[in-house]
Amino acid sequence: MPPLYVALLALVGAERVRELTISRRNSRSVPGEASASRSYPLIVAAHIGLFTLPVVEIALTRPKPRARNLWLALLAAATGLRWWSISSLGSAWNVQAQVPRDLSPVTAGPYRYLRHPNYLALIVEFVALPMAGGAWRSAIGLSLLNGLALFDRIRAEEALLNRSAAYSAAFKGKARLIPGVF
């Protein structure tokens, strides 16, 4: 296993642990209704796979990563977008996608352009992290699993968010994931 890839996985893993800590704190301070409890176990499984399946694939196939700098740049951009999203939502952000009862929509940061920038970052990460190690099979399989989980989660979350007239008005006409698309 290439030591730089192991270090990259450890760095991204540490980031996820930090996110869980922030989420736990935020969940306690903002009571809300979990919007995607049905898809949450699938999301957890996909994230566990993100840190295990590429390692197995690399160990078994010993691929030679191609365009590593491109994948690392995309991973860095996705990570930046993720943290921009998290910091923009502040205490309202959590991994369970709880929607506060007294929802005040956030329209600053990346939310000026998209309804779900954090999910866009996840989609890019699920491709870029395995590809940085040359694990293309993992990138495809994990991206499909992540896409399935996010499809359900976004629909459930938006059903709760759209109960708020303020959210509906603030995000009417804004793309879910890619500006100008869908």
Contact criterion met (CB below 8 Å) for 152 and 145: no
pLDDT of residue 33: 66
Percent of the residues in the chain that have a pLDDT greater than 90, as a whole number: 64
| 56: nearest Cα among 128, 171, 123, 135 | 135
| C-alpha span between 6 and 30 (Å, rounded) | 36
Stronger pLDDT, 29 or 147, i.e. the higher one:
147
Predicted model pTM: 0.91
Residues 6+ apart with CB under 8 A from 148: 42
User: What is the pLDDT, as a whole number, of residue 34?
Assistant: 58
Angle between helices 117-132 and 68-89 (to 10 degrees): 150
**CATH number given to 3-171:** 1.20.120.1630
Q: Which residues of 3-26 are buried (b: 16+ CB within 10 A; e: fewer)?
A: eebeebbeebeeeeeebeebbeeb
In the block, tokens 């010993």 appear at: 62
In this predicted structure, the answer to whether residue 24 has a pLDDT above a threshold of 80 is yes
Tokens of 158: 């938006």
